[in-house]
Amino acid sequence: MTSQRTRERLIQRLYEEGLSNPQVLEVIRRTPRHLFVDEALAHRAYEDTALPIGHNQTISQPYMVARMSELLLEAGPLDKVLEIGTGSGYQTAVLSQLVERVFSVERIKVLQDRAKERLVALNLRNVVFRWGDGWEGWPALAPYNGIIVTAVATDVPQALLDQLAPGGRLVIPVGSGEVQQLMLIVREEHGFSRHVLGAVRFVPLLNGPLA
């Protein structure tokens, strides 16, 4: 269930679905996704599907993790990335192997605590965590070259736009219910350019920390 062959099959599928960044695909290949789900679901870890992780949250499907990572990196290497929604820590782990530093915010403390343990076990040490409200971002450490949001927002949080560095890229699902679109927002010299990239399905980005 966690064999190299199973992982290779997943990478082949992602490639066939149009993902092409070799660095991203290699990180997905070597990151043990089965460690980020409950043991009972480990046999499904390398399927290209979202899986429940408790607290009405999911671990994103590998395609979406890879796609959002590719979009962040399209303009070149990134030094400082803000992640909204640590969740299981899987996207965090992938990002930490692609960029210099990751700052990850999660409102559900028990999920973030588990994610921290997993990243320590994998010796991924360039991540700093904050338990708090994702709508607020992490203003104290702004600006960020990239921001990635792993839950759907009803609209783009102004706080995240404010915390984006010039030339920085924000990847975020926006919408509600069945109507959700993945967006790429780039901070230009005189404002923001917005690109709608297609329909997605994410759990909602909620307000307020939860112990």
Has residue 1 got a pLDDT over 70? no
What does the alpha-carbon distance between residue 76 and residue 119 come to, in Å, rounded to a whole number? 25
- For 136-144, the CB contacts below 8 A with 24+ separation are 137/82, 137/84, 137/105, 137/162, 137/163, 138/82, 138/103, 138/105, 138/163, 139/163, 141/80, 141/82, 141/103, 142/82, 143/80, 143/168, 144/80, 144/81, 144/82, 144/103, 144/168
How does the average pLDDT of the chain come out, rounded?
Answer: 94
Specify the pLDDT at position 154.
95
Tokens of 34: 């089965």
AA identity, residue 117:
E
Q: What is the pLDDT of residue 211?
A: 61
Residue type present at position 82: L
The pLDDT tens digits of the residues spanning 152-196 come to 999 999 999 999 999 999 999 999 888 999 999 999 999 999 999
pLDDT at 208: 76
Cα 52 to Cα 58, 80, 103, 157, 203: the distances in Å are: 4, 29, 23, 26, 11
Q: Higher confidence at residue 78 or residue 209?
A: 78
Q: Is 173 exposed, middle or buried (0-12, 13-18, 19+ CB in 10 A)?
A: buried
Instruction: Give CA torsion, residues 46, 35, 41, 67, to 10 deg.
Output: -40
Per-residue pLDDT for 149 more than 70? yes
60 is catalytic: yes
User: Which residue, among 73, 63, 123, has the nearest Cα to 98 in the 3D structure?
Assistant: 73
pTM: 0.94
Q: 2 pLDDT band (50/70/90 cuts)?
A: low
208: left (phi > 0), else alpha (psi -120 to 50), else beta? Answer: left
Catalytic residue from among 3, 60, 88, 176: 60
